[in-house]
């Protein structure tokens, strides 16, 4: 069988289609063999799918969505009208990473001094129903879309924002902030 896309993200439609080499007098196909563009369904043959995430389906071509990331073993079991069976499995990895640019933030002032309140704002992130985890680069962390942080040391820090949605997908962005000594 084949599936598309080959590297899906969480909650993305994945189309599974039977492909293989016809098996004369058998269950219609030998699922483990490559099948070019696929084969036609054989009357009386059943196609049972186990998507590896606790769900299953029946049909020659099916669409499925994974609600969590990870690697899943998909199994196709083909049974002919005479009871002959063939089975094959493949692995599919569902990504938990969101597209680049999904997470973003700004901070103000852009040239802070030690002791200044720095206002971070992640409202430019395009992820809905999200949790925001901040690493301010100085050993402290924060949460929320608009945290405020005070730096006590003069130096350059890397601020990292990780945005995670309710499906477990996440996106991360890092920016440099340089904190000057108080005048």
Q: What is the C-alpha to C-alpha distance for residues 95 and 118, in angstroms, rounded to an integer?
A: 34
Edge-to-edge strand ranges of the sheet holding 141-143: 141-143, 130-135, 155-165, 170-179
Q: Which two tokens stand for residue 66?
A: 């994974």
Poorest-pLDDT segment among 7-11, 28-32, 54-58, 98-102: 28-32
Note the pLDDT of residue 145. 96
The most confident of the ranges 4-8, 25-29, 74-78, 82-86 is 74-78
**pLDDT confidence of 95, banded at 50, 70, 90?**
confident
Q: Express the helix, strand and coil content of the chain in percent, nearest 5 each.
A: 0, 50, 50
Please, what are the domains in the chain? Answer: 2-94 (2.60.40.10), 106-179 (2.60.40.10)
Is the entire prediction scored with pTM above 0.85?
no
| Exposure of 123 in the CB half-sphere (CA atoms within 13 A) | 6
pLDDT, tens digit, for every residue of 21-69?
555 555 445 454 434 344 556 678 889 999 999 999 999 999 999 988 8
In three-state secondary structure terms, 2 is: strand
Note the pLDDT of residue 85. 86
Do residues 69 and 98 touch, judged by C-beta distance below 8 A? Answer: no
pLDDT, tens digit, for every residue of 130-161?
899 999 999 999 999 999 999 999 999 999 99
């Amino acid at each position: 069988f084949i599936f598309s896309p080959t590297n899906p993200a969480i909650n993305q439609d994945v189309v599974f289609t039977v492909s293989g080499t016809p098996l004369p007098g058998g269950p219609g196909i030998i699922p483990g063999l490559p099948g070019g563009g696929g084969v036609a369904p054989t009357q009386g043959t059943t196609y049972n799918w186990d998507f590896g995430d606790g769900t299953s389906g029946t049909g020659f071509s099916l669409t499925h969505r994974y609600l969590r990331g990870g690697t899943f073993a998909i199994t196709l079991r083909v049974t002919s009208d005479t009871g002959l069976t063939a089975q094959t499995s493949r692995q599919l990895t569902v990504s938990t990473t969101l597209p680049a640019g999904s997470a973003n933030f700004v901070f103000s002032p852009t040239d802070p001094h030690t002791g200044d309140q720095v206002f971070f704002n992640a409202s430019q992130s395009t992820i809905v129903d999200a949790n925001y985890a901040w690493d301010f680069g100085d050993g402290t962390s924060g949460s929320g879309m608009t945290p405020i942080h005070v730096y006590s040391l003069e130096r350059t820090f890397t601020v990292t924002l990780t945005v995670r949605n309710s499906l477990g997908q996440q996106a991360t962005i890092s920016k440099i902030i340089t904190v000057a000594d108080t005048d």
